[in-house]
């Protein structure tokens, strides 16, 4: 897929009604690369709807897949088991252009809302948000640590913001160019995937930060155009690389290595956010260009399931324990 750079004013980042994305131009303001050309930054979004619904299965908050639908302004919920699943629940309260999502150890759901510039938290089994985090220009990904801290990448704000447990007041801010993905390992080390090119374009890389540190170690990973990242059970750094055409892939980098031990490409065009199930048996890839959630057997890299039902634009994914 051909990538296009787009510039948007802060008003457009906030999702003002009737705003239009404009082509990239020097000095035109803040930015976002719109690799997903069918959902341009600043394009008019439907007003979010309060509420949502949960089936009895979805209320149990176990063995579930959560998918962010950017254009649909919703989080759609699916059972893990099955093939080509249909939604068994939906969250719309406070949702506005959702991209990154994650679950903490309690099953609480966190969502980055690009077009109203917030992050919202939903207690397990609830469709109504309890906490709302603000102060972002373009919150694009979120991670929740075992210590309860919440980490948000602000793409346009060029920072990662960290919040203590149960607090919406930030405690730590990391300045970093165009951050896309945030991920945590078992020791709560933070891995930020970001891009270094003009207007947020590639090349990409990943920096590792010790807990509460603002100085990271550059891992020097050869990423064409960075998107989301995750850490597997072997502490491998797993990155989504949107590539520059036909070379989009998810790469697996062993600790200390700049050469991938595994490359996963089947069915991908624009891998954006990624997630694992608890035992790292399956890798889940949100691909907005094919408009599907792609599910892979992680050990072999084989595509085993594709979920499209009820989705208009697939941008993020999280899987409950």
How confident is the model over 270-296, as a mean pLDDT? 97
In this structure, what token pair is assigned to residue 1? 């897929």
In this structure, what token pair is assigned to residue 254? 């062993």
Collapse the DSSP code of 58 into the 3-class scheme (helix H, G, I; strand E, B; otherwise coil) and give the result.
helix
- Contact yes or no for 210/219 (Cβ under 8 A): no
pLDDT band at 3 (very low <50, low <70, confident <90, very high): very low
Q: What are phi and psi of 57, to 5 degrees?
A: -70, -40
Mean pLDDT of the chain: 87
pLDDT at 48: 56
Close Cβ partners of 287 (under 8 Å, ≥ 6 residues apart): 267, 268, 269, 270, 271, 272, 293, 294, 314
pLDDT at 11: 28
pLDDT above 50: residue 286: yes
In the chain, the N- to C-terminal Cα span, in Å, equals: 34
Instruction: List Cα–Cα distances, 52 to 15, 49, 55, 303, in angstroms.
Output: 21, 8, 10, 31
Nearest to 194, CA basis, from 149, 217, 219, 225: 225
Pairwise CA distance, residues 141 & 161, whole Å: 11
pLDDT digits (tens, 9 = 90+) for 72-130: 999 999 999 999 999 999 999 999 999 999 999 999 999 999 999 999 999 999 999 99
Pairwise CA distance, residues 108 & 320, whole Å: 9
In this structure, what token pair is assigned to residue 163? 């919040």
Pairing of strands 237-241, 273-276: unpaired
pLDDT digits (tens, 9 = 90+) for 227-269: 999 999 999 999 999 998 789 999 999 999 999 999 999 999 9
Say which CATH superfamily domain 5-319 falls into: TolB, C-terminal domain (2.120.10.30)
Close Cβ partners of 56 (under 8 Å, ≥ 6 residues apart): none
Percent of the chain with pLDDT over 90: 81
pLDDT at 31: 31
Which residue is listed with tokens 């457009």?
Answer: 12
How confident is the model over 148-175, as a mean pLDDT? 97
pLDDT at 7: 27
pLDDT digits (tens, 9 = 90+) for 195-213: 999 888 999 999 999 999 9
pLDDT digits (tens, 9 = 90+) for 172-185: 999 999 999 999 99
- Kindly report the pTM of this predicted structure: 0.88
Collapse the DSSP code of 26 into the 3-class scheme (helix H, G, I; strand E, B; otherwise coil) and give the result.
coil
pLDDT above 80: residue 5: no
pLDDT at 18: 28
Residue extents of the structural domains in the chain:
5-319
pLDDT above 60: residue 223: yes
E strands within 135-291? 139-144, 150-154, 159-163, 172-175, 179-184, 190-195, 204-209, 217-218, 226-231, 237-241, 249-253, 262-264, 273-276, 282-287
Q: Count of alpha carbons within 13 Å of 162, Cβ hemisphere only?
A: 24
- Contact yes or no for 33/6 (Cβ under 8 A): yes
Nearest to 239, CA basis, from 283, 295, 277, 289: 283
Collapse the DSSP code of 225 into the 3-class scheme (helix H, G, I; strand E, B; otherwise coil) and give the result.
coil
pLDDT above 80: residue 40: no
């Amino acid at each position: 897929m051909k990538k296009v750079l787009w510039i948007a004013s802060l008003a457009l980042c906030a999702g003002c009604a009737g705003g239009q994305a404009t082509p990239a131009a020097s000095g035109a303001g803040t930015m976002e690369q719109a690799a997903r050309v069918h959902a341009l930054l600043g394009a008019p979004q439907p007003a979010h709807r309060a509420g949502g619904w949960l089936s009895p299965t979805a209320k149990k908050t176990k063995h579930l897949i959560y998918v962010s639908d950017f254009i649909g302004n919703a989080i759609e919920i699916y059972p893990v088991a099955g093939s080509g699943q249909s939604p068994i629940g939906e969250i719309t309260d406070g949702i506005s252009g959702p991209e990154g999502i994650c679950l903490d150890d309690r099953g609480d759901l966190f969502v980055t809302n690009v077009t109203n510039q917030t992050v919202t938290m939903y207690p397990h089994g609830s469709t109504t948000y309890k906490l709302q985090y603000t102060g972002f220009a373009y919150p694009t990904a979120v991670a929740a640590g075992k210590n309860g801290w919440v980490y948000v990448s602000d793409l346009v704000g060029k920072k990662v913001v960290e919040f203590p447990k149960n607090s919406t007041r930030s405690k730590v801010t990391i300045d970093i160019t165009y951050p896309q993905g945030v991920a945590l390992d078992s020791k709560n080390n933070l891995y930020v995937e970001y891009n270094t090119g003009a207007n947020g374009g590639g090349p990409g890389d990943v920096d590792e930060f010790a807990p509460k540190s603002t100085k990271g170690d550059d891992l020097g990973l050869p990423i064409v155009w960075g998107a989301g990242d995750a850490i597997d059970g072997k502490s491998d750094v797993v990155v989504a690389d949107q590539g520059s055409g036909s070379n989009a892939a998810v790469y697996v980098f062993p600790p200390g290595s700049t050469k991938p031990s595994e490359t996963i490409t089947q069915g991908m065009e624009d891998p954006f956010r990624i997630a694992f199930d608890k035992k790292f048996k399956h890798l889940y890839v949100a691909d907005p260009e094919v408009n599907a959630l792609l599910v892979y057997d992680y050990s072999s890299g084989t595509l085993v399931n594709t979920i499209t039902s009820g989705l208009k634009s697939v941008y993020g994914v999280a899987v409950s324990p």
